[in-house]
Amino acid sequence: MIKQALISVSDKSGVVDFARSLAELGVSILSTGGTARLLAESGLAVTEVGDYTGFPEMLDGRVKTLHPKIHGGILARRDLPEHVAAIDAHGIPTIDLLVVNLYPFRETIARDDATLEEAIENIDIGGPTMLRSAAKNHRDVTVLVDPADYAGVLEEMRANGNTVGYPTNFRLATKVFAHTAQYDGAITNYLTSLGDARLHSERNAYPATLNVAFEKVQDLRYGENPHQSGAFYRDLAAPVGALSAYRQLQGKELSYNNIADADAAWECVKTFDVPACVIVKHANPCGVAIADTPAGAYAKAFATDPTSAFGGIIAFNREVDEATAEAVSRQFVEVLLAPSFTAGAQQLLNAKQNVRVLAITLPAAGAPATNALDFKRVGGGLLVQSADDKNIRPEELRVVTRRQPTPKEMDDLLFAWRVAKFVKSNAIVFCANGQTLGVGAGQMSRIDSARIASIKAENAGLTLAGSAVASDAFFPFRDGLDVVVRAGATCVIHPGGSMRDNEVIAAADEQNVAMVLTGTRHFRH
C-alpha cells in the first residue's frame, strides 16, 4: 500500500494535479527544492526532504536526497523481517512511491551556446540513484519517470485501496532502467565527443563511444526471409515525418520487407514540393512522377514500369482522395502511404482489407527531414555516417558542353537527379516531363544499368526521345554516355570527377548533348 511518496521533478507537467490526487488518497508527500515550493504554493501539505532527513540541502543542490533515510525507505524489502527491523531501528519510514524525472541534460547540450560547465551541472546524480533504487525494489515501490503514467497509477490506486499491482510496478521499473540508460548514454556521447577536455571548443560528430536508443514497436512474423526472425524498433530521436511515426489505418501486419520498402518510398516522395507519387519494389523506385494531382502523379509513375509496380509500395506526399484511391485499387499493392486520406478514399480502400494503409505526417518546412546519422551493420562493427541530405543549389551546377540545356531540359535533369539519389548504385534514370521513363538500378557496371534502364522503357512502351538522364556517379568511360544517347537522351546530369571527364564531355559535344555536372555523388549501397 502506498502511504508515502517522494516527488522531485524537473519536468513539472501535471505534477500539481497528481500530488493533489495523492493527498486526497491520504498519501503523505516528501519533496525537494523547486518541486516542494511549487506544491506548497499550490496549497498542498509537503515535507521538504532536508527537514525529513535532518540534513540540509548543500553544495548548490548537488546533495539533497543522497541520505540513508531516503534510500533505506526506498530499498528496504517489505517481505524480509531483517530489512523491516533495520529501518524500524533507525526510524526510517518506507517510501512507497517515487516520482522523479531528471535534469534536462539533453536539452542543455542541444543548445549551440551550451558550455561544458553547463552540461556538467545538468548531470543529475541523486535522481538516477533514487530511480535505480526504486526500480530495483519494484516489488514494493512504484516508480514514475514519465508524467504520461500519472493517470494510470492513480486509477489503479483508487480501484485497489492505494495499492499498485506487481505487473504495473514491473512495467514502470523497466521504463526507468531504459530511461536512465538513455540518460547515461547521452552523457557518454557528449563527453566522449569532446576529446581532450582542454580543447573541447568543438564537438566531434562521432563520439569515441556511441550509444543509441531504440524502443520496440512490434515483433515481426519473420525477417527478410522466413527463416529469419525480426522486430521493428523506433529511434527515440527520430525527426517529425520519419516513417517510424506511421499510423496504420488498415491492413495486415507490416513485414520486415514492407517497412524497409515503405521507408525507401517515403524518403523519396517527401522531398518533392509538388504533388508526387513514388512506387518502390525491392528498395528501388520503379516509378516516380509529379503532376497537378496525386491521381495524375500516380498514373505517370505507374506507366514507368507496370510490371514491377505489381505488389509494390506506393507513397504520396499529398492527401489521397477518392479518385486516387480508386486508381490505386485497380492494382495489387502491398503498402499505401500518404500524409492523410479522405473519408471517400478510406471507404474505397476498406474493400481491400489486406492493403496496409499508413498515414505519416510530413515534416514542417525547414525542419530536419531525415535522421541525423545513418547506420549500417558490418561483421563485428557499425558504419556511421551523416545523412545524404544534400540538395544541389543552382549555383553549384556546371554546364560543361557547348550546348546549354533548354529550360525544359534543366527541369527534367533536376527531376532525374532527385530520383537517382534514391536508386541503388549503380543508378541510371531516364526522365521527361516530371516522369521516370526507365530506371536501371544496382548493377556492377554503370553501362549495364544504362542498358537496363533503356530496355525497361522500351518494355513499358515509353519513348526516350528527348529524355534527360541522371547518373548517381560519373561516367568512367564514354560508352555509358553513348548508350543513353543512342536510346534518345538529349541531356545528362552527373557528378563529374572522372579521370576521363574530358573524353566524356567531348563525346557529349560530338553528339550535341547538353551535360551538367553537380559535383556531388549519391552512391546508395
Give the pLDDT confidence score for residue 372 in this predicted structure: 79
CATH number at residue 304: 3.40.140.20
Give the pLDDT confidence score for residue 238 in this predicted structure: 85
**Burial (CB count within 10 angstroms: exposed 0-12, middle 13-18, buried 19+), residue 409:** buried
Q: Same structural domain for residues 340 and 401?
A: no
Q: How far apart are CA 499 and CA 493, in angstroms?
A: 17
| C-alpha cell recorded at residue 513 | 548533348
The number of domains in the chain is: 3
Q: Which residue numbers in the chain have pLDDT < 50?
A: none
Point out the residues that are catalytic: 136, 282
341 to each of 244, 263, 267, 322, 333, how far by Cα in Å? 18, 19, 19, 8, 16
Domain that holds residue 78: 4-199
Q: Is residue 386 part of a domain?
A: no
Q: Same structural domain for residues 326 and 404?
A: no
Q: What's CA 162's distance to the chain center, in Å?
A: 39
Q: Is residue 429 part of a domain?
A: yes
Q: Same structural domain for residues 334 and 430?
A: no
Q: Is residue 369 part of a domain?
A: no
What does the pLDDT look like over 266-291, one tens digit per residue? 999 999 999 999 999 999 999 999 99
Give the burial string for 179-213 (b: 16+ CB within 10 Å, else e): bbebbebbbebbbbbbeeeeeeeebeeebeeeeeb
The domain boundary residue, chosen from 308, 332, 359 = 359
Q: Which amino acid is at 108?
A: T
Query: What DSSP element (H or E) covers 449?
Result: helix 446-459
Q: Same structural domain for residues 401 and 354?
A: no
Q: Same structural domain for residues 276 and 193?
A: no
Q: Same structural domain for residues 144 and 18?
A: yes
Give the pLDDT confidence score for residue 113 in this predicted structure: 84
Q: Same structural domain for residues 166 and 275?
A: no
The reported pTM is 0.86
Q: Same structural domain for residues 324 and 464?
A: no
For Cα atoms 133, 137, 138, give the angle at the middle one, nearest 5 degrees.
115
Give the pLDDT confidence score for residue 369 in this predicted structure: 65
Q: Is residue 229 part of a domain?
A: no
| C-alpha cell recorded at residue 72 | 533505506
Q: Same structural domain for residues 399 and 507?
A: yes
Q: Same structural domain for residues 407 and 506?
A: yes
State phi, psi for 501 to the nearest 5 degrees.
Answer: -55, -45
DSSP letter (8 states) at residue 405: P
DSSP letter (8 states) at residue 406: P
Q: Which amino acid is at 456?
A: K
Instruction: Please report, to the nearest 10 degrees, the dihedral formed by the alpha carbons of residues 332, 338, 342, 345 taken in order.
Output: 0
Q: Same structural domain for residues 28 and 87?
A: yes
Q: Same structural domain for residues 10 and 136?
A: yes
